[in-house]
Amino acid sequence: GIQVEQSPPDLILQEGANSTLRCNFSDSVNNLQWFHQNPWGQLINLFYIPSGTKQNGRLSATTVATERYSLLYISSSQTTDSGVYFCAVEATSGTYKYIFGTGTRLKVLA
């Protein structure tokens, strides 16, 4: 089945710093989402982005489907950005289910 790898696994930033999180996947995908799992465990939708580029405030994401990767950019990080970031993909086989990546654990220091 499709493999989804995220990097880096852990990231510590000072408040105000910028960062780039990467998601590599091993096969073509129909759908891709980025989520932020907050310290209370809630998965918050960041982007639905099977291809192209989107921006939402301090966050933006780019998916290059032909090269099988997606990037999440966080600018001017805040302590509330702390948590785990997951990308999730649905393979083109049309199974509907998401395969989640390994996650990036982000800690932003005040």
Partner 1 sequence: GAGVSQSPRYKVAKRGQDVALRCDPISGHVSLFWYQQALGQGPEFLTYFQNEAQLDKSGLPSDRFFAERPEGSVSTLKIQRTQQEDSAVYLCASSFSASGPYEQYFGPGTRLTVT
| Chain centre distance of CA 95 | 21
Site string for partner 1, 36-75 (x = CB under 8 A): ----xxxx-x--x-x-------------------------
Instruction: Say whether residue 101 binds partner 1 (CB under 8 A).
Output: yes
Cα dist from 40 to 37, 82, 83, 110, whole Å: 8, 11, 9, 20
Partners of 91 in the β-ladder: 29
Residues at the contact surface with partner 1, assessed by CB under 8 A: 30-31, 33, 35, 40-43, 45, 48, 50, 86, 88, 90, 94-103
